[in-house]
Amino acid sequence: MDTLPTGEVDSILAADSYGKSRVRLMKIARRDGRHDLKEITLQILFKGDFASCYETGDNSKILPTDTIKNTVYVLARQNEIVAIEEFAQCLIDHFRTNNPQVSEVRVEMTEHLWSRINSTAFTRASGKRTVVVTGARDGVTVDAGIDDLLILRSAGSGFEGYIKDPYTTLPETKDRIFQTALVATWRYKTRSLDFNNLWERIRASILDTFATHESRSVQHTLHAIGKQVLAAFPEVAEIQLTMPNKHALLVDLSRFGLDNPNEIFLPTDEPSGYIEAKLVRR
């Protein structure tokens, strides 16, 4: 009876798959009079004839996962994304056509839904209403606010004229994606107000200022938002704002013979800029 070498077990590869996960894509379709925004996170998995890679280390049938990621950005640039179901099929057709060793392509997509504020500004279903009420012997303070309000500008935002030392690599720009998860807390002057109505109106003021302000920096727009709230709402004594700068990086498609006229971006979470300030009445 044949025996296996010490340390080996009689086994077969029963199932396998591989691919790329958490590929993040943001596309800005720049049309006359408006921009259309799509943000998608996706995973692509292949099944097929890959046993030789697992069993002997032969990579001749393996498409690198980095290539899978790059393909997403190239096809996003070359095709209009109207429905994620259609874009998923576009990816599947490409991979099956060009990879005969692949028997199945599974594409999982999550679309992060943005609502339009105006033609070039958006907000995402987010934001929590907050309040802190403090009662002391000498009175009551009411601090209302908004937490995690996701907002984005696809035009009207630049960053220029900053310090450039030997370690600065960031290029100046007149046109960038401006995305933040805004946190605002404001203190009312009195404890007896129509709080529901005021909160809705202050939130609307924040969105309107963000959407229309010609921004030279996150700090510039933060100040404009706070200043407008104090100007429009005499019931507010002060406002504290935090606006982390959620970067969206332009994807370099030149290696694939394609331009990228500020359309295809990679959204990133970390690291991010962190900007905060308090505005009070004189």
SS3 40: strand
SS3 169: coil
Of 27, 35, 69, 247, catalytic: 247
Find out whether 246 and 272 touch, Cβ atoms under 8 Å.
yes
Q: What Cα–Cα distance (Å) separates residue 94 from each residue in 35, 87, 128, 145, 253?
A: 27, 11, 41, 48, 18
20 is a catalytic site residue: yes
What's the order of all strands across the beta sheet hosting 248-250?
A: 102-112, 34-48, 18-31, 264-267, 248-250
Of 41, 61, 65, 242, catalytic: 65
260 vs 270: CA distance, rounded Å: 23
User: Quick one: which of 211, 208, 254, 244 has its CA closest to 228?
Assistant: 208
Reply yes or no: is the peptide bond before residue 271 cis, omega within 30 of 0: yes
243 vs 221: CA distance, rounded Å: 9
User: Quick one: which of 263, 204, 210, 209 has its CA closest to 36?
Assistant: 263
113 vs 155: CA distance, rounded Å: 19
Token code pair at residue 218: 């996150």
Q: What Cα–Cα distance (Å) separates residue 185 from each residue in 122, 178, 199, 276, 281?
A: 21, 21, 11, 11, 15
Of 20, 38, 213, 246, catalytic: 20
Catalytic residues: 20, 65, 247
